[in-house]
Chain A
Amino acid sequence: MTSQTGKTKAARYGMVVDLDRCNGCGACMLACAVENNVPPAAPGATDRTGITPLRVYRYENEGRVVFVPIMCQHCEIDTPCVAVCPQQAVELDPATGIVGQIPQRCLGCRYCMAACPYHARYFNWSDPEWPAGMERALNPAVAPRMRGVVEKCNMCHGRWHEARELAAARGESGPVAYTPACVEACPARAITFGDLNDEASLVAQMARQNEAFRWLESIGTGSKVYYRSRREWVRESSRKEVNGRG
C-alpha cells in the first residue's frame, strides 16, 4: 500500500511502560475504549471474547504480582500480522512505524490473530451496541467497527490525525508530536510515548536503559513497545521460556 519517500523524516513511534509504576487501576483500558469507540461488552461476552485493544494482565508468579498492560506491540521486523493478511488490511507504515489495521478492508478471516504472539488483536464477534443515546458521546475522530472484523491498537491514530491538522495549520513540518489516550490517562504516569528515531527523546533513552526489555524478544519481531522494571524476576520472566498459567 505504501510508497515511502524521503521527503519527511520518518518517525518510529514507540512506548516504554514502567511496570513498577502500574498498579492495575485500569484507567488506560477505559481511556482506550472511550477514545477508540470500543463498545461495551456484548451480552455473554467474556475476557476471551471481549474487545480490549489495551488489556492489563495481572501476572501473578509465586505470590509476586506485576500488572502488564499489553497493546499491539507494533512489531517492525517482518511483522507477523502484516505478512499474513490476505487483502492488505494490515500494514506497517514506514513513515510512522505504526502497524495499522483497517477494519473496512478486513475480511474477518482472523489469520492475523493466529499470527500475533501477543494476543493483541480482537475480533468483533457481535454487532457493536451502545446504550440508547450513547452514540452521541462517541469520539468523532474514530469510526466504530462493524461485526466480523478484527481490530487492535492503532496508537490512537485519531489523535495523530488531529495533531497533523494542527501542525499543518501552524505550518510545522516533520513527525507530529501527539499523545495516545492511554499515556494521557495513566494516573501513575507509567507509559512514556514518543519517537524512537529521535535519539534525544525520553522514550528512546528509556528504551536503551538496562531495565528496559520487550516481551518475546527471542521471537525477533522487533516490537516497538518496551517495558521496564527494577524487579529482576519480571525482567527474567520475559526471557524465561513460556510457563503460562495452567
Chain B
Amino acid sequence: MIRGLILFAAGAALSSTAAWMMTPRLLYRHEAQPVNFSHQVHAEKGGMQCTDCHALRADGSFSGIPTIAKCAECHSAAMGQTKAEAEFVRDYVTPNREPQWLAYTRQPDNAWFPHGVHIQRGKLRCEQCHDGQGKSDKLPLADVNRISGYSRDVMGRPGHPGMRMDNCIGCHERGGRHYACLDCHK
C-alpha cells in the first residue's frame, strides 16, 4: 500500500515538474526581430518621445510601428558610428525595404484596440500598458503561440501585464467604466 502511494507520488511529482518546465518551450515559437532597435538610445540620445514615431493620425487611428520612410527622415545616412546602424541603413533605408517587424502587442484580427480613445479620453500613458518597452535597449524575442498564433505578450506572461480581454475588462471594471463586446470586437 505504502509502496504504491510512494510510486504514485513519484509519478505525479515527476510529470508535473516536467510539464511546468516544458510548457513555455512547447507552446511558443521564439522569433528574433529583423533589426535590433534600441528605444533607449532614441529616447535618451535622440531625446525623442514615443509619439514622434508612434503617432495618432488625423482621423484618430493609431499609426503603429513606423514605416521605413519614417526612419529615413533621420537615418537617410548613418548618424552615428555604430555597426548596427550602418547595417540598418545599408539593408533597409537605402533599398527602401520595410523591415518585417514582429509586433509584441498586436491584437488579433477580431479585436480592435482604439489607442486614440484611450489616450485622449482615458488619458492613459504608453507605459501603463507597454511598461518598459519605451526604455528597453534590446528588442526581446517575440514569442508566438504555436497553436493559436497569438503573441505571448498579448496573452500575458508571468511578470508582464498582458493585454487579454480579462485585462481590458479588469481595468474598465476598476474604473467603473462601461464596456460591451462590440466596443473592442470587430
Q: Do chains A and B touch in the complex (CB under 8 A)?
A: yes
* Interchain CB contact (< 8 A) of A1 among B112, B176, B181: B181
* Interchain CB contact (< 8 A) of A165 among B114, B178, B182, B186: B114
Q: In this assembly, does B120 line the interface, its C-beta being within 8 Å of a C-beta of chain A?
A: yes
Within 16-72 of B, Cβ neighbours of A (below 8 Å) are at 56, 58-61
- Which bracket fits the contact residues of A? 35 or more
Q: Is the CB of A169 within 8 A of B116?
A: yes
Q: Is the CB of B121 within 8 A of A100?
A: no
Q: Is the CB of B178 within 8 A of A2?
A: yes
Q: For B56, what are the chain A residues with a Cβ–Cβ distance below 8 Å?
A: 169
- Which bracket fits the contact residues of B? 20 to 34
* Interchain CB contact (< 8 A) of B60 among A95, A103, A168: A168
B1-26 vs A, Cβ < 8 Å mask (1 yes, 0 no) = 00000000000000000000000000
Q: Is the CB of A141 within 8 A of B116?
A: no
Considering the chains assembled together, what is the distance between the CA atoms of A29 and B166 in angstroms?
36
Within 144-186 of B, Cβ neighbours of A (below 8 Å) are at 172-173, 176-183, 185-186
Segment at the B interface, from A3-11, A195-203, A221-229? A3-11
Within 107-132 of B, Cβ neighbours of A (below 8 Å) are at 109-110, 112, 114, 116-117, 120-121
Segment at the B interface, from A153-161, A178-186, A210-218, A238-246? A153-161
Given A104-B110, A143-B186, A166 and B178 contact (CB-CB distance below 8 Å)? no
Q: Is the CB of B120 within 8 A of A169?
A: yes
Considering the chains assembled together, what is the distance between the CA atoms of A166 and B117 in angstroms?
9
Considering the chains assembled together, what is the distance between the CA atoms of A170 and B172 in angstroms?
22
Q: In this assembly, does A20 line the interface, its C-beta being within 8 Å of a C-beta of chain B?
A: no
Q: Is the CB of A158 within 8 A of B186?
A: yes
* Interchain CB contact (< 8 A) of B178 among A8, A91, A169, A170: A8
Q: For B120, what are the chain A residues with a Cβ–Cβ distance below 8 Å?
A: 168-169, 171
Q: In this assembly, does A34 line the interface, its C-beta being within 8 Å of a C-beta of chain B?
A: no
- B residues near A (Cβ < 8 Å) are 56, 58-61, 109-110, 112, 114, 116-117, 120-121, 172-173, 176-183, 185-186
